């Protein structure tokens, strides 16, 4: 019996049977899916380049004290390319795939350029195409649902740390407003106080009563007035 089993095993493997170390054949959908990012990219959300203090930035082993000071001095960043300009000047040899896991400017999913999307850690041409394919996005839930067709839930959540969908100023819930980086209860009240908004210019004018022009410009990235 042992001899029979040995012969059967050798014949099966020789004819193409799978062994433990051999990867199973992928179907067309999974074969096209991007590889999972390195573990270093999945640990935590990056610091926001517009909000993190110089000390917090420099605490990362990926960000030198000089670069941290330059990041703070270069604010506000209205796109990832603005941050890239500072990084390329102060840390031209830095591994962007690692550095931007530590500090980042969230991308507007509806307006980010392909160049910006490709700066996002772990995102290559294939997934950049998927980011663009489903525009316009109306909510993060839509983004998560569509990307879930290509990657697992953990990777969807990781990618979500780097992007946002602007909220509608007239209908956004308190939870959605408070999800904007740097917005607390006081500013949430001001967002709601001036409803209904008829334009972003109105929003900028009203918020300008409470914060400076740079902060108004930063906040305006996260909102819109929908028809």
Report the pLDDT value the prediction gives residue 18, as an integer from 0 to 100: 34
> Is residue 12 scored above 80 in pLDDT?
no
Cα–Cα distance, 112 to 78 (Å, whole number): 11
pLDDT digits (tens, 9 = 90+) for 90-145: 999 999 999 999 999 999 999 999 999 999 999 999 999 999 999 999 999 999 99
The predicted structure's pLDDT at residue 14: 40
Quick count: other Cβ atoms within 10 Å of Cβ 149?
11
Give the C-alpha separation, 185 to 54, whole Å: 25
Question: Tens of pLDDT along 34-81?
Answer: 444 555 555 689 999 999 999 999 999 999 999 999 999 999 999 999
Question: Tell me, what's the pLDDT at 116?
Answer: 98
Residues 61 and 4: their CA atoms lie apart, in Å, by 59
Q: What is the pLDDT of residue 41?
A: 59
Q: Which of 227, 220, 221, 185 is nearest to 206 (CA)?
A: 220
CB 171 within 8 A of CB 227: no
The pLDDT, as a whole number, for residue 215 is 98
The whole-number pLDDT of residue 39 equals 52
pLDDT attached to residue 227: 83
For the question of whether the overall pTM of this predicted structure is more than 0.95, the answer is no
Residues 137-174: tens digit of each pLDDT: 999 999 999 999 999 999 999 999 999 999 999 999 99
pLDDT score recorded for residue 173: 97
222: how many CB neighbours lie within 10 A of its CB? 21
List domains and CATH numbers for the chain. Answer: 44-105 (1.10.150), 107-165 (1.10.150), 167-224 (1.10.150)
Structure tokens at 99: 């550095």
């Amino acid at each position: 019996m042992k001899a029979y089993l040995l012969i059967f095993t050798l014949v099966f493997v020789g004819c193409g049977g799978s062994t433990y170390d051999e990867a199973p054949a992928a179907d067309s959908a999974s074969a096209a899916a991007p590889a999972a990012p390195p573990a270093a990219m999945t640990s935590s959300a990056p610091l926001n380049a517009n909000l993190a203090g110089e000390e917090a930035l420099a605490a990362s082993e990926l960000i030198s004290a000089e670069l941290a000071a330059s990041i703070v001095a270069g604010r506000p960043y209205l796109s990832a390319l603005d941050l890239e300009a500072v990084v390329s000047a102060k840390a031209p040899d830095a591994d962007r795939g690692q550095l931007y896991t530590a500090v980042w400017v969230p991308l507007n999913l509806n307006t980010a350029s392909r160049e910006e999307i490709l700066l996002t850690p772990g995102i290559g041409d294939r997934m950049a195409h998927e980011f663009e394919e489903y525009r316009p996005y109306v909510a993060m839930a839509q983004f998560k649902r569509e990307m879930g067709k290509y990657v697992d839930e953990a990777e969807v959540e990781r990618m979500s740390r780097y992007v946002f969908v602007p909220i509608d100023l007239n209908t956004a819930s308190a939870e959605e407003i408070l999800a904007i980086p740097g917005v607390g209860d006081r500013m949430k009240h001001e967002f709601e106080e001036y409803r209904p908004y008829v334009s972003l210019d109105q929003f900028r004018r009203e918020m300008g009563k409470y914060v400076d022009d740079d902060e108004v410009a930063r906040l305006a990235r996260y909102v819109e007035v929908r028809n």
